[in-house]
Amino acid sequence: MMTDTAARRVNIIQGEYKVIDDPNVVLTTILGSCVAACLRDPVAGVGGMNHFLLPGSASAMSAGGDATRYGVHLMELLINGLLKKGARRDRLEAKIFGGAKTIATFSNVGDQNAAFAMQFLRDEGISVVGSSTGGEYGRKLEYWPVSGRARQYPLTGAETQKTVALEQRPAPAPRPVESSIEFF
Binding site for another protein (CB under 8 A): 63-64, 66, 68-70, 72-73, 75-77, 79-80, 83, 89, 120, 123-125, 174, 176-178, 180-181
First-to-last alpha carbon distance for the chain, in angstroms, is 45
The bridge status of strand 25-31 relative to strand 127-133 is: unpaired
Q: Which amino acid is at 158?
A: A
Phi, psi torsion values for 130, nearest 5 degrees: -175, 150
CA proximity to 163, closest of 26, 6, 53, 44? 53
CB of 161 to another protein, least distance (A): 30
Q: Which is nearer to another protein, 9 or 89 (CB)?
A: 89
Q: Are the C-beta atoms of 46 and 73 separated by less than 8 Å?
A: no
In 3D, which of 39, 37, 79 has the Cα closest to residue 54?
Answer: 37
Q: Residue type for 86, please?
A: G
* Closer to another protein by Cβ: residue 100 or 126: 126
Select which of 34, 38, 39, 155 is catalytic: 34
Comparing CB distances to another protein, the nearer of 1 and 181 is 181
CB of 175 to another protein, least distance (A): 8
Tell me the β-bridge partners of 151: 142
d(CA 4, CA 11): 15
CA angle 64, 117, 36 (to 5 degrees): 130
For the question of residue 38 being annotated catalytic, the response is no
**Catalytic (active-site) positions:** 34
